[in-house]
Amino acid sequence: MKFKIVLGLISVYGLLGSQNNTDISLHDLVQGYIHDILSALGLSWGALDSPYYTSVARVRELEGLNKQEVQYTAQRMAFIGQSLKKYSDTSFNKIPRIAVCISGGGVRALVGGLGFLKAMQETGLLDVTCYLCGLSGSTWAISGLLESQKSVDEYIEFLKIGLAIGLLNGIDGKSIIDELLKKIENEQSISLIDIWGVLIAEKVLLNPNKKKLTHVTLSNYVHMPADGSLAMPLYSCVAPIDAEDEQPYRWVEWTPFEISCPYLKSAIPVWALGRTFKEGKSIDRPAELSLSFGHGVWGSVMSGNIQDLLKIVINPLVSCEEHLLKFILQHLQDGTFLDQISQLRAFPAEIPNWNFQLEGKPASHNETITLVDAAFLCNLPLVPVLNPLRDVDVIIAVDLTIGDDFVLELPCMATYAARHGLPFPPIDKDSLRNSCSVHGLDDDHAPAIIYFPMVANPDYKNGWNPQTADFTGTLNVTYTPEQVDLVSGLMYTACRQHLSTIWQVIAKRAAAL
């Protein structure tokens, strides 16, 4: 009975909120009734339990790194120094700063990324990594692994259960209702992304502390230990803020401490995500957004416009022989055909713009910010660790992109870096189809990049090719245990086979510090 009442309330609220000509007082009236009814039913999802409830959040100028990040990475680097003595025979005068960046690709990226991390954990490489960067499906892997408090191998075994059911099956309606009601009570906008995020979280979060999903937040899902024993996670999405032809999106990065946007030149505490800001400080105190909201936003492939969807989803599925369809798709993608509808966007997530009415800041006239999957801009999350303030020496880029154009992702990142004045090494494009390639080893002005694409390996399963497999498409969200082993095993093998290369690059860059 409670479920039916709540579902009806959500339907009415959503209907009123979607009507531009609806009297706002009626919408507010229904909001008040919903709050009263929820309280009477014992279903209140208020913000009072948050340790930050009495705190006013303030916008931070991006003049340096967040102080908490600086403090934690200092602890992490000390831990890495001890780990290098354990795992490497090389004597390091200075400790190199290493980042692992894993691409998007839905469940394929979730599983393939974990296979690579499993090999890194077994060989000590994970213990010498400072940053773990994710985008789209790989963010599910990193956040789920850290939240689980398990080894990578144990976490993969846990995932097999949920992935065999599928992200869209075995749905717990109560968790979805909980999340929607939390946002309604806190007067936050609702979209399909909220539901999608809950579906992901139900399958990827082990939830060892048995919290309700609405209580697992970005600020509390992982405890960054005082001894620096965990690599620091960095997650990415993009926002179509002040979009231009050559810059349709602005990069947005999330840490356990804050969310920031270089274009906006500002950041806010991660616990304040979802609050309304005016002139540089928060003016309300809603509950912190759930980690599941992040899962939905980071992997929101359904929120792209038509051009985005053609690039990420449709083009890899179209065979070269279908010339007419290819011609139509190309014109859509170039924006020369049906230009207006090519920019339509479905189901985007929106949050209040923390730069709203903040004098002298970009986009200060916008009340909200739309957030979508970063793969629409580039499917490799290198931007956060190209920041000179993070001083990264070696980037291990794990590219789980499939389709004929998978070799374009690293050059895409190089183009982005050049446009924004970020350090980037020269790329040997002829080597990008190899199972491992090294770029910029002798370039002292940019990080060295060790690139691992998801390609067939003649020494693994008779050369099984993930690029042509019938289940590795980004839209497939159900994997059998055997398929999990196949995809994760491929990237596990790639890391193990090129282990000596990785250590050699680390040693050489460290020697040049």
Residue 347: pLDDT band with limits 50, 70, 90: confident
pLDDT of 116 reads: 98
Q: Is the pLDDT of residue 281 over 70?
A: yes
User: What phi and psi values does residue 420 have, to the nearest 5 degrees?
Assistant: -105, 10
- Sign of the alpha-carbon torsion through 72, 128, 381, 493: negative
Q: Is the pLDDT of residue 308 over 80?
A: no
Q: Where are the domains of the chain?
A: 2-40, 60-301+348-446+469-511, 305-343
According to CATH, what is the number of the domain 60-301+348-446+469-511? 3.40.1090.10
pLDDT of 320 reads: 40
Closest residue by Cα to residue 466 from 446, 442, 445, 493: 493
Report the amino acid identity of residue 251. Answer: W
Question: How many other C-beta atoms can be found within 10 angstroms of the C-beta atom of residue 192?
Answer: 15
Instruction: List, for residues 473-506, the tens digit of each pLDDT value.
Output: 998 999 999 999 999 999 999 999 999 999 999 9
pTM over 0.85, yes/no:
yes
- Residue range 377-397: mean pLDDT, rounded: 97
pLDDT of 185 reads: 84
In percent, how much of the chain has pLDDT > 90? Answer: 68
Contact (CB, 8 A) for 466 and 472: yes
pLDDT of 328 reads: 46
Beta bridge partners of 260: 253, 267
Contact (CB, 8 A) for 140 and 167: no
Instruction: List, for residues 43-96, the tens digit of each pLDDT value.
Output: 445 555 678 888 999 999 999 999 999 999 999 999 999 999 999 888 888 899
To which H or E segment does residue 438 belong?
Answer: strand 437-439
Instruction: List, for residues 242-280, the tens digit of each pLDDT value.
Output: 877 678 899 999 999 999 999 999 999 999 999 999 999
Q: Residues near 172 by Cβ (< 8 Å), separated by ≥ 6?
A: 202
pLDDT of 342 reads: 46
Residue 148: pLDDT band with limits 50, 70, 90: very high
Lookup result for tokens 């990594």: 129
Q: Residues near 348 by Cβ (< 8 Å), separated by ≥ 6?
A: 191, 193, 300, 303, 370, 371, 372
pLDDT of 287 reads: 87
Report the amino acid identity of residue 255. Answer: T
Instruction: List, for residues 435-477, the tens digit of each pLDDT value.
Output: 999 999 999 899 999 999 999 999 999 999 999 999 999 989 9
Contact (CB, 8 A) for 417 and 388: no
